[in-house]
Amino acid sequence: MSHDPGNRRRGRRLAILITLLGLSVLAAGAFVFFKGLAAEWWWIRRLESPDAKVRSEAIDVLAARRSAWAIPRLVRLAAPAGPETPEEKVSGEPALLKALLRIGPRAIAALLKHLEKEELQIRMAYRFRETVTEHEPFIGLLKSQDHNLRLFAIRALGYSPFHETIQAALAEALEDPNWRVQCAAACELAIALPPRRPLREALRRGLKEGSPAARLKVLQALKRAGVNARFAVSDLIEALREGYPEAAAALGKIGREPAAAIPALLGALKEKDPALREAAAQALARFGAAAVPPLAGALEGGDDLVQFEALEILGNLGPLAEPALPAIEKFLPSGDEDLSRQANWAAATVRGMEPRAH
């Protein structure tokens, strides 16, 4: 079978032409890519400018470009590394934080990895809370596969848990497969919603299994929830015994189940931590008349520190503490000058002869 030499030559020319055309397209694409990369690096270098206007313009441009190359530099500027205090580490400019959020989940993930410690991540979430008023980007992060991003989003959403859209997103997060995410959502919802079963379970699990930072967050949420936190009395008593002043404050805000709470609060008056003793004293005072008989009994206990605190609480209860007057008056001739002075003041305030402030 013969082949036309002319056809072969035309075929070779066409193949060469197609190859040259392909190489031209590749070259053009490479040119555009490297030109864009050079432009991004130019803007990234301008992030270090001492001129705030130039720096702000660079942040806006890089955010609009969703620049992955800019993420490390933006992260370092938003959370400087070094021996600074945690507050300084998370004191990024609002424009920087908004830029990271605009770039997307990979930027937030890089920021959390850079911060490492949970305490700093929580502070950064609060910084976003103060800075970014839009909640849609955070709700979007709740769909991330990375539970750390979901956790961060919930902490940042806490700026307005009463917003219906945010409430719905947080309520959905109560079913999250990660219990830490459930707990964070429950903490934010505790001040806005009655304690339904998923919320109660998430809060109680956070108290039992959470890190110290997470447990503190749960305790603060229960304190804000007030009487709605009565389902957690037994858990709060356990946290009180472990030395958390916030547990005492929460028990006082609940003001229920005195038979269970008051003995534990009286026990806290013996602790060395002054913050814990003060919180327990304030909580006992919130129980009002129900706390008077146990406090009068504590005066018989022989522990000077508890007796001093009990006298102060009874004095601040004023006329409500009248049934305890016989126990108070036993200290008037006390050999301990401080106790005697405290008993004099308490007796006078209970009789209404002196103001309660002491």
pLDDT at residue number 130: 74
pLDDT at residue number 217: 78
pLDDT at residue number 4: 67
pLDDT at residue number 31: 65
Domain assignment present for residue 222? The answer is no
Domain assignment present for residue 87? The answer is yes
pLDDT at residue number 91: 52
pLDDT at residue number 1: 47
Looking at the 3D structure of the chain, how many domains does it have?
A: 1
pLDDT at residue number 159: 54
**Whether the Cβ atoms of residue 149 and residue 112 lie closer than 8 Å to each other:** yes
pLDDT at residue number 195: 60
CA dist., res. 314 & res. 291, Å (int) = 9
Extract the residue ranges of the chain whose pLDDT is less than 70. Answer: 1-6, 31-37, 81-92, 159-162, 191-196, 256-258, 301-302, 334-335, 354-358
Domain assignment present for residue 173? The answer is no
Domain assignment present for residue 180? The answer is no
> Amino acid identity of 164?
E
Domain assignment present for residue 109? The answer is yes
pLDDT at residue number 302: 60
CA dist., res. 346 & res. 358, Å (int) = 9
Distance from the Cα of residue 42 to its chain's centroid = 37
Domain assignment present for residue 312? The answer is no
Domain assignment present for residue 93? The answer is yes
Domain carrying residue 154: 36-159
Domain assignment present for residue 179? The answer is no
